Amino acid sequence: MQRNHIIWIVAPILIVIVSIAGTLYYAVGNSRRKLIISTTTSLYDTGLFDTIEDHFEEKYPVDLYVISVGTGLAISHAERGDVDLILVHAPQKELAFLERGFGTSRKIIAYNFFAIVGPESDPAGIMDLTPNQALLKIVEYGRAQGVKWVSRGDDSGTHTKEKGMWTDAGLNWTSMREEDWYIEAGTGMGKTLQVADNLDAYTLADMGTFLKYKKDEIISLRTLVTQGEELLNVYSVIAGNMTRHPHLNYDDAITFIKFLISDEGQEIIYNFAKQDYGQSLFYPAVNLLRQNTDPELVQWIMNYSFFEGHECPPEYWGNHPELYP
């Protein structure tokens, strides 16, 4: 057989082989499922979520797609059916989300504490006061001497906590936001810290984001008020409800929740960046609640983030009672 005849015979075979190989490669390359998650800026900005994502994707054929926003917007995404699962930290908003029928299978996964932070000079003199005392002094010095307070102002979990703290201190947040000393950043935690730093102002920050930005020398602010049950910050994960949005990837959402509350997931949370900062940025909550190893702290968490004695009322378990031993 002449050489050119061989080429004409072999060429179509090669084309078929390459085509089949390409099809197989495409099929294999796209066999991984997609899970869309809306998470708080604190979990994302600190890098914790990236670490969780790496470990989870190594273990399961699922790719995580992450949207980093405040809690209020994360909940809005889930109510529209744009995400399969949310990671948030505003218990009363979470309860309303469940009661409106958009979420299921809420699990508390971690906690840390907020802090009132401000300039090194501490012009209002709030160092080591109680949170209520500190807020009252900031208002006093803000009105009299122009000391600034920077609020997230974005309906996030941190913003929700801040508004609750003003109310607990006997102050009217709605009227204060019209005053010159009270500034709304309307952005995430990291950017809010930078605005406060630029203005030598006070703000409320979650400790995870604050420690990262401080260590990276992005800000020069310091922690001033760090003690008190009022500063507790609790993170929860909630799956979307398929009865409202049938297209949701509910099965992988439950798999991700089980990963977060597993010993492996909780260890990842505990160890994240611990060597870099000399402390954990976030503390695992599952065994703490299950074993009641610190009764006072457990009671704080229950007071703040349980609903009638449950982290998730049974009617919202979503056919997964195994999540609630």
Among 282, 319, 314, CA closest to 52:
282
User: Rounded distance, CA 239 to CA 292, Å?
Assistant: 26
Q: Which domain holds residue 190?
A: 113-231
Residue 97 tokens, joined:
């989300």
Q: Is residue 107 part of a domain?
A: yes
Both 253 and 225 in one domain: the answer is no
Both 106 and 251 in one domain: the answer is yes
Query: Over the stretch 172-194, which tens digit does the pLDDT of each residue have?
Result: 989 999 999 999 999 989 999 99
Both 239 and 97 in one domain: the answer is yes
Calculate the dihedral angle through the C-alpha atoms of 79, 54, 261, 161, rounding to the nearest 10 degrees: -50
Overall number of domains in the chain: 2
Helix (H, G, I), strand (E, B) or coil at 125: coil
First to last CA, the chain: 75
User: Residue 30: pLDDT band by 50, 70, 90 thresholds?
Assistant: low
Both 101 and 242 in one domain: the answer is yes
Phi-psi region of 218 (alpha: psi -120 to 50; beta: other; left: phi over 0): alpha
Residue 72 tokens, joined:
């209020």
Which residues are 232's β-sheet partners? 113
CATH number at residue 143: 3.40.190.10
Both 189 and 277 in one domain: the answer is no
User: Rounded distance, CA 38 to CA 83, Å?
Assistant: 6
Q: What is the pTM of this model?
A: 0.85
Both 237 and 164 in one domain: the answer is no
Produce one character per residue of 68-83: b if its CB has 16 or more CB atoms within 10 Å, e if not. bbbbbbbbbbbbebeb
User: Rounded distance, CA 283 to CA 266, Å?
Assistant: 8
pLDDT score for 19: 40
Both 224 and 160 in one domain: the answer is yes
Phi, psi of 232 (to 5 degrees): -60, 140
Both 183 and 284 in one domain: the answer is no
Query: Over the stretch 77-111, which tens digit does the pLDDT of each residue have?
Result: 999 999 999 999 999 999 999 999 999 999 999 99
Q: Which residue is listed with tokens 């599952």?
A: 286
Secondary-structure breakdown of the chain: helix, strand, coil percentages, each rounded to the nearest 5: 50, 20, 30
Q: Is residue 8 part of a domain?
A: no
Query: Over the stretch 109-118, which tens digit does the pLDDT of each residue have?
Result: 999 999 999 9
Q: What angle do CA 51, 53, 54 make, to 5 degrees?
A: 65
